[in-house]
Structure 1
Amino acid sequence: MAVAMRAIEGLIDRIGRLTLWVALAMIGLVTTNVLLRYSMSLGSVWAQELEWHLLAALILLGMSHALQRGDNVRVDLFYAGYSPRTKFAVDVVSIVLTLIVALVFVKLSLAYVAQAWSIGEKSPDPGGIPMRWVVKGLIPLGYALLALQSVGALLRLLHFRRQAVGDGDV
C-alpha cells in the first residue's frame, strides 16, 4: 500500500511541477498580449485563445496537485472540534465522494472528446487555434488524475490510520 501511495504521489508531484511551467507561460502570454494590445494596438485571436487553453490546462492538471497539497477549500469551523474517529470518517467520505465525481466526469467527457476529435474540431474564429479537441482531451485526463490522487489520498489516510491504531492513538 505504501509503494502505491508513493508512486501516485510522485506522479502527481511531477504533474504539479508541469503546471508551474504552464502558469509561468500563461503569465508571460497574458503580459505580452496586454502590452501589445495597449501599447501598439496589436492583438491576435490565436494568442487570446491560447490564454484560455493554458488556463484550462492549469486548472485541469493542477487540481489533483492542489488536492494532494491540501490547497482545496475545506471548512474547518466544525471539523476542528471533531474527534479523531469523526475526522477519519469525514475524510473517508469526502475522498470517496471526490473519487466518484471525478470518475463520473471522466466517463461523461470521453464521448465529448471523442466527438471533437472525430470531426477535427478547431476554433470557429479566423486565425484561431486548430485542434481544439486537444484542450478538450485534458478534461478526462485532469479528472483521471484527480481520481488517481483521490485513491492516493485514501491509501495515505488508511496507512496512517493503521499506524495510529497500531500505536494505540485512536
Structure 2
Amino acid sequence: MRRWIAAYIRVVDKINYRIGRFIMYGIFAMMAVLLWSSISKTFFLPSLWTLEVAQFFMVGYYILGGAYSIQLGSNVRMDLFYANWSDRRKAAFDTATVFMLLFYLGVLLYGGLESTIYSLEYGERSPTAWRPYIWPIKIVMCLGIVMMLLQAVSELFKDILKLKSEAA
C-alpha cells in the first residue's frame, strides 16, 4: 500500500509541477493580448475579442496553476499560529482540514461539470459582441479543479506519511 501511495504522490506531483511551470508563462500571453488591445484601440479599430480572450487566459492561468500553488504550499493560511508549529503538528492540522478543501473542490467540480454539460448541449455563447463559445473555458476549469483535487489528496498522503514516520 505504501508503494502505491508513493507512486501516486510521485505521478501527481510531477504532472502538476510540469503543468504549473508551463502555465506560469501564460501571463505573457495575457500581456500580449492586452498590449494588442491597447495598440488596436490607439491606432486602429478596437478589437472585439481582446477583453474576453484576456479573461479566458486569466481563468486558465489561475485555475490550472491552483494545483501547483497547493503543491508549493503557497496557498493562503492563517500563519499567526501555523508558522510557529512543529512539522508534526502542521501535518496533523493539515490532515484534519484537507477534508474541507476536498469537499469544497468536490462541490465546485459537481457544479462545473453540470455547467459544462449544459454549455455543450445548448451551445452556450457569451452575451458580448464577439460571442465566443463558453464550453472550452468551462472544460479548462473542470480540468483545473480535478488537478487541485488530485494534488490535495497527494498532500493528504504526504501528511499521513509524515505523521506515521515520526510516530514510528
So what's the TM-score if we normalise by structure 1?
0.86
The whole-number CA distance in structure 2 between the counterparts of 1:82 and 1:11 is 30
List 4+ stretches of structure 1 deviating above 4 A. none
Match of 1:72 in 2: 75
Match of 1:143 in 2: 145
Cα pair distance change 1:66/1:162, threshold 3 Å: same
Match of 1:123 in 2: 126
Of 51, 54, 58, which aligns to 1:51? 54
Match of 2:18 in 1: 14
- Contact persistence 1:36–1:42 (CA under 8 A): yes
**Which ranges of structure 2 fall in alignment gaps of 5 or more residues?**
none
1:12-47 CA distances to partner (integer Å, 9 max, x unpaired)? Answer: 11220231232221121112212332x315321212
Match of 2:165 in 1: 163
Of 99, 105, 114, which aligns to 1:102? 105
Seq. identity, %: 27
1:105-144 CA distances to partner (integer Å, 9 max, x unpaired)? Answer: 1112211110111111122223342x21111222222211
Count residues in correspondence.
164
2:146 aligned counterpart, secondary structure: helix
- Contact persistence 1:45–1:128 (CA under 8 A): no
Letter in 2 for 1:165: A
The whole-number CA distance in structure 1 between the counterparts of 2:73 and 2:84 is 19
Q: What displacement does 1:62 show?
A: 0.9
Most deviating of 11-20 and 53-62: 11-20
Of 66, 71, 89, which aligns to 1:63? 66
Letter in 1 for 2:27: A
- Contact persistence 2:48–2:130 (CA under 8 A): yes
So what's the TM-score if we normalise by structure 2?
0.87
Letter in 2 for 1:31: L
1:5 aligned counterpart, secondary structure: helix
Of 23, 30, 34, which aligns to 2:38? 34
The whole-number CA distance in structure 2 between the counterparts of 1:28 and 1:62 is 19
The whole-number CA distance in structure 2 between the counterparts of 1:127 and 1:74 is 40
Q: What displacement does 1:52 show?
A: 0.7
Q: What displacement does 1:84 show?
A: 4.8
- Contact persistence 1:2–1:159 (CA under 8 A): no
